[in-house]
Each structure stands twice: as structure tokens, then as C-alpha cells.
């Protein structure tokens, strides 16, 4: 019972928010963008932060999820479950998300397997290669739209749905971390040889970390395509993967709280800059400049963080642990 209660509460709260805020289109769009980035950051944190493996191909898993979900939704666009109205769309939407997640998880399994023999930089290169291979394959597959991508994906996504998935992702990351499985992942991060000597099947754990992480990246991709409506391979390139790595490194590798906060702040930052430039009356070409200065800005930010606080803003701390400690002290 206690396990399900938070999920029910979150669902109810998000539904209420949806009714309140659902009509502010720009807000919903921005919130969805932030939500997708949070899911990507939290899920990548399972591999990079908890397990200590360095993956820089997360956009690849996202792309697999996005394209799988899009193809499914485009194919079933005209199909309706009789008598269910809008609910029918949402059922197809959830199915598309699940399919996208499953396809990405399968890729996670396949990438995870050879990666087990590799450590550090070598693993990073394999994951980078995976991301690029996915992008190049999509780019050269006419049935997936080639470089132009897919368009006309039905906009099933809602504010409530995106943030419900965000909630589930954080919940999974948190429950994983506080279980014997999460501890095994930490053990691998801390010392692989010792973990193995203490009976931790490091191979299986690493593969599973990849599978879980890729699944959520795939779902994030599925959500993304259902509010963007248009996806192109260029959206899932190397810089996208690096963006996600920046989120978790800035937030603190191993901290879900850090991943969430950094993803929120760094997604909103360019938007804030854009409206700032708008407010001071700069001409519209400046908003294009904002997109260009985003990357150097990230770079400078990351250098500052690495110099001032190499463990990231939150280190490996979690907001809920802080709360627990305060309660224990009181």
C-alpha cells in the first residue's frame, strides 16, 4: 500500500495541475521540454552516477525510443478504440511510449554486453559510437524520413503525462538507490575488483543498469516526439548526449536531486536569456544568438563548477536524505 500511495497522489496532483495550467500553451511546451530533460538526466545518472560507467550516447537511446514511438503512432493514427473518445488516443500513446522504451531497453542490453569488457574511456567511445550509429542509420533510412525526419506525429503528450513519467523515473531511481541492488551498483562504482570479490555479479549489474537507463531514455524520446510532432536525426546528435552529461556532472554524479535540478535550470536558462534579451528591446536576431551562446555558456559553467566544486552542486547527496537527517535530529 505504502509503495503505491505516492504514485496515486502524484497522479491526482498532476491531473489537477493539468486542468489548471493546461491551457497555457507555451508553459506546457516548456514544462514538457524540461520534463523530458529531467527524465534523460535521471536515467543517465543510473549508469554514470550510480554505477560509475561513463556513457555518452544517451541521445542514441532517446532516438530509438522517439522513432519507435513515432512510427507506431503514425501507423495507428487512424485507428480508434470504439466508444472511448480521447481516452483511446491516450491508450495508444501509452502503448507507443512502452514500445519506445522497450526498443531502447533492448538496445541498452545490446550495448551493455560488449561494454562489460571495457572501462572508462573505452566504454565512453563505444557508447558514443552507438549514438552516432543510430543517428546515421536513421538519417539514411528513407522510411524513417531520412535527414528530414518524421513529421505529423499526433500531439498526444500532455503536461500531466510528461511529469507523471518524470515522477516514476525519480521514484525508480530513488527506490533502486535505497535497495540492495542500488548498493551493488555503488559497489561497482567504488571498486569493481572488490565488488566482484564480495559476490557482486558485476557483469549482470552493469547490463541491467544499461537496460533500465535506456528504457527511460526511450520513453523520454517517445514523450518528446509526441509534443514536438516533428523529429529529425539532427535532434539526437552528439551534442544532445553531451547536454545530458553536463546536466548530471553539474548536478553531481550519483545524485538524483542534482540531476533533476541541473536539468531544470539548464533547460530554462536559454529560455530565460531569450526573454531577457526580448525585455531589453534587443532585435529578434538576438534570440538566435542565444542558441549559439548556449554551448559556450555550458562550457564556462562546467569549468567553473569543476574548479569550485568538482563533485557537482549536490555531490552524491539527496534532498530526501537531508530531510531524513533533520527529522532524526529533531
Partner 1 sequence: MSVGEVILEAKATSITFGGLKALTSFNLQVKRGDLKGLIGPNGAGKTTAFNVLTGVYLPTSGDVEVCGERVNGRRPWEINRRGLARTFQNIRLFKSLTALDNVRIAVIANTKPLFARDRIARLRSGSSMNRVAAKVLDASNNYVDWWRALLKTPGFLREEAELTARADALLEVMGLSHRRDEQAKNLPYGEQRRLEIARALGTQPKVLLLDEPAAGMNTREKADLMVLIRELREKFSLGILVIEHDMKLVMGICEHITVLDHGETIAAGDPAAVRADPKVIEAYLGEAPAHA
Instruction: List residues near partner 1 by CB under 8 A.
Output: 2-3, 172, 175-176, 179-184, 186-187, 190-191, 193-204, 208, 212, 316
Helices and strands (DSSP H and E) totals, the chain: 13, 0
Q: Grid coordinates representing 190?
A: 567504488
In the complex with partner 1, the residue whose CB is nearer, 113 or 148, is 113
Q: Please, what is the minimum distance in Å from the beta carbon of residue 205 to partner 1?
A: 9
Contact predicate 117/105, CB 8 Å? no
d(C-alpha 231, C-alpha 234), whole Å = 8
Nearer to partner 1, 180 or 292 (CB): 180
Please tell me the distance from the alpha carbon of residue 289 to that of residue 299, in angstroms, as a whole number: 16
Shortest distance (Å) from residue 14 CB to partner 1: 20
What span, in angstroms and rounded, lies between the C-alpha atoms of 265 and 171?
A: 20
Q: What is the DSSP string of 188-207?
A: HHH-HHHHHHTT--HHHHHH
Do 35 and 42 touch, CB atoms closer than 8 A? no
The least distance separating partner 1 from the CB of residue 235, rounded to whole angstroms, comes to 30
Distance CA 238, CA 242 (A): 6
For partner 1, the closer CB: 15 or 186: 186
Whether 42 contacts 318, CB under 8 Å: no
Minimum separation from the CB atom of position 4 to partner 1 (A): 8
**CB nearer to partner 1: pick between 217 and 290:** 217
Minimum CB distance to partner 1, residue 8 (Å): 14
Distance CA 48, CA 37 (A): 16
Q: Reduce the DSSP state of residue 156 to 3 states and report it.
A: coil
* φ, ψ for residue 36, nearest 5 deg: -60, -45
Strands annotated E in the chain? none
CA 322 and chain centroid, separation: 24
Q: Specify the residue, 145 or 251, whose C-beta has the smaller distance to partner 1.
A: 251
Q: Which is nearer to partner 1, 53 or 73 (CB)?
A: 53
Q: What is the nearest approach in angstroms of partner 1 to the Cβ of residue 304?
A: 24
Closest contact distance (angstroms) between CB of 213 and partner 1 is 13
Phi, psi of 263 (to 5 degrees): -65, -40
Minimum CB separation from partner 1 for residue 266, in Å? 26
Nearer to partner 1, 107 or 187 (CB): 187
* Residue 150 DSSP SS3: strand
- Select 76 or 203, whichever has its Cβ closest to partner 1: 203
The answer to whether 105 touches 230, Cβ cutoff 8 Å, is: no
Nearer to partner 1, 109 or 277 (CB): 109
What is the C-alpha separation between 322 and 318, in angstroms, rounded?
7
Smallest separation (angstroms) from partner 1 to the CB of 162: 20
| Helix, strand, coil percent values for the chain (each to nearest 5) | 80, 0, 20
Amino acid at each position: 500500500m505504502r509503495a503505491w500511495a505516492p504514485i496515486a497522489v502524484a497522479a491526482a496532483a498532476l491531473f489537477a495541475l493539468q486542468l489548471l495550467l493546461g491551457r497555457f500553451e507555451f508553459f506546457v511546451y516548456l514544462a514538457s521540454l524540461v520534463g523530458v530533460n529531467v527524465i534523460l538526466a535521471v536515467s543517465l545518472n543510473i549508469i554514470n552516477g550510480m554505477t560509475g560507467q561513463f556513457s555518452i550516447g544517451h541521445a542514441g537511446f532517446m532516438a530509438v525510443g522517439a522513432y519507435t514511438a513515432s512510427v507506431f503512432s503514425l501507423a495507428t493514427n487512424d485507428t480508434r478504440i470504439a466508444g472511448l473518445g480521447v481516452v483511446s488516443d491516450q491508450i495508444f500513446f501509452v502503448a507507443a511510449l512502452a514500445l519506445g522504451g522497450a526498443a531502447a531497453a533492448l538496445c541498452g542490453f545490446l550495448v551493455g554486453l560488449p561494454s562489460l569488457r571495457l572501462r572508462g574511456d573505452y566504454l565512453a567511445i563505444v557508447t558514443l559510437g552507438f549514438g552516432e550509429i543510430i543517428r546515421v542509420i536513421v538519417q539514411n533510412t528513407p522510411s524513417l524520413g531520412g535527414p528530414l525526419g518524421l513529421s505529423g506525429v499526433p500531439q498526444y503528450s500532455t503536461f500531466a503525462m510528461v511529469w507523471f513519467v518524470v515522477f516514476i523515473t525519480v521514484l525508480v531511481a530513488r527506490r533502486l538507490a535505497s535497495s540492495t541492488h542500488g548498493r551493488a551498483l555503488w559497489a561497482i562504482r567504488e571498486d569493481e575488483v572488490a565488488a566482484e570479490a564480495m559476490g557482486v555479479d558485476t557483469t549482470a549489474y552493469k547490463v541491467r543498469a544499461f537496460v533500465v537507463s535506456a528504457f527511460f531514455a526511450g520513453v523520454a524520446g517517445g514523450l518528446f516526439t509526441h509534443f514536438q510532432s516533428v523529429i529529425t536525426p539532427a535532434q539526437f546528435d552528439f551534442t544532445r548526449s553531451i547536454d545530458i552529461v553536463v546536466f548530471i556532472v553539474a548536478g553531481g554524479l550519483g545524485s538524483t536531486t542534482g540531476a533533476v535540478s541541473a536539468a531544470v535550470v539548464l533547460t530554462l536558462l536559454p529560455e530565460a536569456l531569450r526573454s531577457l534579451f526580448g525585455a531589453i528591446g534587443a532585435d529578434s536576431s538576438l534570440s538566435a544568438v542565444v542558441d549559439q551562446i548556449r554551448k559556450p555558456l555550458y562550457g564556462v559553467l562546467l569549468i567553473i563548477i569543476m574548479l569550485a566544486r568538482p563533485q557537482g552542486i549536490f555531490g552524491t547527496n539527496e534532498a530526501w536524505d537531508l530531510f531524513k537527517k533533520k527529522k532524526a535530529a529533531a
